[in-house]
């Protein structure tokens, strides 16, 4: 079976992209899919432990090394396009694409997490949207369920649709910080976007659970079969 790369983006940084990608990797692995993960650029990295790439490599069922799931890391916690020159690193986007292509050769499905939101600049003139366009990826948008998320969600949808990228819809995340909008956001977004909402991820501490249980990060009754069908080429 051939699947598009799955690009997991979000309405902002820190909204639960890694949480979602890790949950999806474990859930899809349990479904018999050979999943690999890819976090090509990561800022604010001081050591390999606890990085997104490490979490994602652990979540994939392909026995991936962390180094296989990452390309560039930066110590400075700013957008890669700023961090790279500050740290004397020249980002080669062709290398990122080569590494992704190599993972696609070896695995059924590659889950890609960007850095920040969809248009956060990764390299001069290059962002996650470009990666998604170049690879024919399908894009899932993680939404932090809080006031303001409707605007960020709809902006991200508009950009994806205008670019002709396969858009899978939205996955809500319970931020823990309840405001009155959290009760209505999902229904309003379903109506206004006309797109699928894949449920809301509950509060779930990955570190407190063995890897095999990380599928619990996903919404209860998450429809794996429908999700996989949407990812087919």
The option from ligand ATP, Mg ion, none interacting with 181 (CB < 5 to 8 A, set by class) reads none
54 binds, among Mg ion, ligand ATP, none (CB under 5 to 8 A by kind): none
The dihedral formed by the CA atoms of 61, 44, 131 and 125, expressed in degrees to the nearest 10? -170
Separation of alpha carbons 157 and 171, rounded Å? 13
The residue to which tokens 């296989």 are assigned: 68
Residue 10 interacts, among ligand ATP, Mg ion, none and using kind-specific CB cut-offs from 5 to 8 Å, with ligand ATP
How many residues contact Mg ion, by CB under 5 A? 3
- Token digits for 145? 């369920």
Least gap, CB of 232 to ligand ATP (angstroms): 26
From the list Mg ion, ligand ATP, none, pick the one residue 203 interacts with, judged by a Cβ distance below 5 to 8 Å according to partner type: ligand ATP
Nearer to ligand ATP, 77 or 136 (CB): 77
Give catalytic status of residue 39 as yes or no: yes
> Which is closer to ligand ATP, CB of 106 or CB of 203?
203
Contact flag: residue 17 with Mg ion (CB under 5 A)? yes
Task: Pick between residue 56 and residue 137 the one whose CB is nearest to Mg ion.
Answer: 56
- 104 counts as binding Mg ion under rule CB under 5 A: no
β-strand partners of 70:
39
Q: Using alpha carbons, list the distances in angstroms from residue 73 to 51, 64, 153, 158.
A: 10, 17, 27, 30
42 near Mg ion (CB under 5 A): no
Catalytic entry in 39, 133, 178, 232: 39
58 near Mg ion, judged by CB under 5 A:
no
Cβ 195 vs Cβ 157: under 8 Å: yes
- Residues lying near ligand ATP in the complex (CB under 6 A) are found at 10, 13-19, 52, 116, 173-174, 201, 203-205
- For 143, residues 6+ apart whose C-beta sits below 8 A from its C-beta are 10, 11, 15, 149, 152, 153, 170, 171, 172, 173, 185, 189
Cβ-contact 111, 8 below 8 angstroms: yes
Q: Name the residues annotated as catalytic.
A: 39
């Amino acid at each position: 079976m051939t699947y598009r790369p799955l690009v997991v983006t979000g309405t902002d940084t820190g909204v639960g992209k890694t949480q979602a990608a890790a949950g999806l990797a474990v859930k899809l692995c349990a479904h018999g899919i050979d999943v690999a993960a890819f976090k090509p650029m990561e800022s604010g990295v001081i050591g390999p432990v606890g990085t997104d790439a490490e979490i994602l490599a652990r979540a994939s069922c392909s026995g991936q090394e962390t180094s296989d799931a990452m390309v560039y890391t930066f110590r400075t916690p700013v957008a890669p396009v700023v961090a790279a020159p500050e740290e004397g690193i020249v980002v080669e986007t062709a290398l990122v694409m080569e590494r992704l292509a190599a993972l696609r050769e070896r695995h059924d499905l590659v889950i890609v997490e960007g850095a920040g939101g969809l248009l956060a600049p990764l390299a001069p003139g290059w962002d996650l949207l470009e990666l998604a366009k170049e690879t024919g990826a399908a894009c899932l948008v993680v939404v932090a369920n809080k006031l303001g998320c409707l605007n960020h969600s709809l902006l991200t949808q508009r950009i994806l649709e205008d670019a002709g990228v396969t858009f899978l819809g939205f996955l809500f995340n319970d931020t823990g910080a309840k405001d009155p909008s959290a009760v209505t956001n999902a229904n309003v977004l379903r109506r206004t976007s006309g797109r699928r909402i894949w449920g809301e991820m509950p509060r779930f501490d990955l570190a407190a659970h063995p890897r095999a249980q990380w599928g619990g990060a996903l919404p209860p009754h998450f429809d794996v079969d429908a999700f996989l069908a949407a990812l087919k080429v």
